[in-house]
Copies of this chain bind each other. A is one copy, B any other.
Amino acid sequence: MPNAATEHDRSGEEISVNIPTTSKPRIVIVGGGFAGIALARGLRRVHADVILIDQNNYHTFQPLLYQVATAALEAESIVYPFREIFRNQDNFFFRMANVCEIMPQANKLKTSIGEIDYDYLVVASGSRTNYFNMNDFQEHSLSMKSIPEATAIRNLILANMEKALLVKDMEEREGLMNIVVIGGGPTGVEMAGALGELRIHVLPDDYKELDFKRMQIHVVDMQERLLATMSPEASASAAEFLKKYEVNLWLKTKVLSYDGKILTLSNGKKILSGTVIWAAGVAGSVIEGIKPELVVGGRYKVDAYNRLEGAKNIFVIGDVAAMLTDKTPKGHPMLAPVAIQQAKNLAVNFTHLLANQPLNPFAYRDPGVMATVGRNHAVVDLAWIKFRGVIAWFVWLFVHLMTLVGFRNKVVVFVNWAWNYFSYDRGLRLIIKPAKQ
């Protein structure tokens, strides 16, 4: 088994970012998403120093970002400080930094806080919004991959309602009220459902001067059906539910252009909208420094052990890893369960690796997929059963609540959900602008 770095004394080296040096091998993890934290946790009893690097000091529970964007949850309730998660893990170190480049020859990372050397590198940098080079949308639409982005969506939706009050021209006013969601995958569907609820239950009481019958919500997708990765039954059920919410569905339709006011679809239709949300695609967050031939579809090619092809001491897990097999010719789906399972498998493999034992290949056990469409309605596809409606919705709530990191967060989210459910309210209708400094 390859074992690039065994125990050695690093005391003679210049450590540029002041990470305590020990004689243990150093495993550096880039990214603290689902994959990164599951791996770091899995390494707690491994004889190695574990260094987690992330641009933020907190883990973000991405599946609930759309609820932050639609004023149902506070940003703080779906994030968790890394230092809190790993408080009691002695071999864990955290550094807040942007990683600029991987230098595989030198076994170093170039970061915003200096160079960090590693014995083993694990890239778990996740995915970023993919605009497919459509500059219009990169410039004028909003994406939803982080807390600041989700908060910016909430701010824009509400600020546009405040603006709509000020204009007398009915067309201009509608443009400020209308919202377009590009992408009919789980994120787009969940977002559209939440917007539908806002329009019915919340906004009309807030803005009595506006006529919400005139507000349109649109979902645009290139595919033939919503939730194309789920079962046809799930797609049909989601579409039916969204139509009840009077959401306009534009399937088999592309978006062509958007200037911040007018969105043009491939069928010629023009939609006036000041709020366009891009949920149409993600690509792996690849980092400079790895040979381009190892990148496929914006992800790093890895072997069955999640090792970067041809590398000895670099591993890649989660969204940014493409493990091409007969079953997965395009790699595994970019989902939390894949990331977590790859992380857990790699954690076990590190103990093998450090003991010079053979590694276990990764095998994905698909736990199923689910998406919530709105109040009392979700769709769940498991291997052995597909169901939808109220029970699916409670399953969705339960699974998400249990997966959230931190007891305090669980309680706060539960309080919010209970409040929202019984009051039909969304308490976080706040336009919180950042400080001027």
**A interface with B by C-beta (< 8 Å):** 17-18, 20, 56-58, 74-77, 79, 81, 83-84, 87, 93, 95-96, 113-114, 142, 146-149, 151-152, 158-159, 162, 165-168, 205-207, 209, 406-409, 411-412, 415-416, 419, 425, 427-437
Contacts and interface: CB of A to CB of B under 8 A. Distances in A.
Given A429-B57, A434-B434, A415 B406 contact: no
A303 to B, nearest CB: 35
Contacts of A75: 74, 76, 432
Contact of A168 (B18, B165, B166): B18
Q: Which 10 A-B pairs have the closest CB atoms?
A: A434-B434, A148-B435, A74-B76, A83-B206, A152-B435, A81-B429, A408-B427, A96-B162, A57-B431, A408-B419
A429 B114 contact: no
Given A162-B96, A166-B17, A205-B87, A427 B406 contact: yes
A334 B408 CA distance: 35
A95 B165 contact: yes
A416 to B, nearest CB: 7
9 contacts: A20-B209, A56-B432, A57-B162, A58-B432, A74-B75, A76-B76, A76-B430, A96-B162, A148-B436
Given A17-B166, A415-B408, A427 B84 contact: yes
A166 B114 contact: yes
Contacts of A151: 434-435
Nearest to A79: B430
Contacts of A425: 84, 408
A87 B162 CA distance: 15
A429 B83 contact: yes
Contacts of A406: 427
Nearest to A142: B437
A102 B408 CA distance: 46
Nearest to A113: B166
B83 A207 contact: yes
A21 to B, nearest CB: 12
